[in-house]
Amino acid sequence: MQKFDFTNKVAIVTGGGGGIGRAASLTLSENGAKVVVVDLSEDAGMLTVNQIKEKNGEAIFVKADVMKEEDIKGYVQKTIDTYGKIDIFINNAGWEGKVLPLVDYPTEVFDNLMAINVRGVFLGMKHVLPHMIKQKSGAIVNTASGAGLLATPNMVAYGASKHAVLGMTKTAGVEAAPYGVRVNAVCPGVVNTQMMRSIESGYGKGDKEAAEASRKQLEASTPDGRYAEPQEIANLMMYLSSDLASHITGQELVIDGGAILI
């Protein structure tokens, strides 16, 4: 059943080859949007595009490294050249970095993570917003994290980056509001994607059983006792992208089964 009406809407999803980005891309398409899937991984991004096409949806893939401003300009321009506008921007590509105490955290990893999770999100908004402002409509959803609201022991760069995403979301939300453009952020807890497999492995220091134990511990620390599925995050992204959220901007919406409350 169709839940949202994105007919004639054009959406960009960065990290569209990953767990959350793929769920968002497929759901946007199922609800009528044309989708520009952006990812560093061509295989992962093309898989998303092919899944959309199998269901008779419309999508293209643009390979881009969000660390590079030229690549960001490239996916924006490709979207305009192909579909003429941008209505929805799911600014979602991200990297977990390393699982290490702050004192051992490699500076180079810190810098690279900031370039993806902060600069990439900033540049995405910088280059998408002018199109939305000009057309006086549009919705941006930045993927932050519960890590943007809490301490993240052993993941200092990731936590700092997601705090920054929330700061940028507030500023962009206020600046864009007079033009009828909304900017919000989602703050997922733990989500069942490749990123969590990598984090579990980091906590387990590469040992499989220890990684599995860290997963069980993370599940147990969530009041509803489980990870989110990517689709659940995509559902919130759909709401924020839709006119049902027409008076919500500059906000951070937590979606974590209540984990942040305990």
Residue ranges that bind ligand NAD, judged by CB under 6 A: 15, 17-21, 39-41, 44, 64-67, 92-95, 116, 143, 145, 188, 190-191, 193-196
One-letter amino acid at 236 equals L
> Which residue, judged by CB position, is nearest to ligand NAD in the bound state?
18
Count CB neighbours of 34 within 10 A.
23
Spatial CA neighbour of 127 closest among 185, 66, 178: 66
d(CA 155, CA 102): 8
Report the nearest approach of ligand NAD to the CB of residue 178 (Å). Answer: 28
Phi-psi domain of 132 (left: phi exceeds 0; alpha: psi -120 through 50; beta: other): alpha
Q: Which is nearer to ligand NAD, 103 or 151 (CB)?
A: 151
Q: Provide, rounded to whole angstroms, the least separation between the CB of residue 258 and ligand NAD.
A: 15
Smallest separation (angstroms) from ligand NAD to the CB of 166: 12
Q: Which two tokens stand for residue 42?
A: 């061509």
Q: What's the CA gap between 150 and 199, in Å, rounded?
A: 17
Is 158 considered catalytic here? Answer: yes
- Residue with Cβ nearer ligand NAD (61 or 95): 95
Q: Which of 75, 83, 105, 158 is catalytic?
A: 158
Of 114 and 177, the one with the shorter C-beta distance to ligand NAD is 114
Is the Cβ of residue 5 or residue 42 nearer to ligand NAD in the bound state?
Answer: 42
Task: Find the helix packing angle between 42-54 and 19-30, rounded to 10°.
Answer: 30
Query: What whole-number distance in Å separates Cα of residue 224 and Cα of residue 71?
Result: 40
Taking the complex as a whole, how short is the minimal distance between the CB of residue 84 and ligand NAD, in angstroms?
A: 24
* Distance in Å, CB of 119 to ligand NAD, minimum: 10
Q: What b/e readout covers 129-145, taking b as 16+ CB neighbours within 10 angstroms? A: bebbbeeeebbbbbbbb
Q: What is the largest CA-CA distance in the chain?
A: 53
CB atoms closer than 10 angstroms to residue 91: 29
Nearer residue to ligand NAD within complex by CB, 135 or 231: 231
Catalytic residue ranges: 158
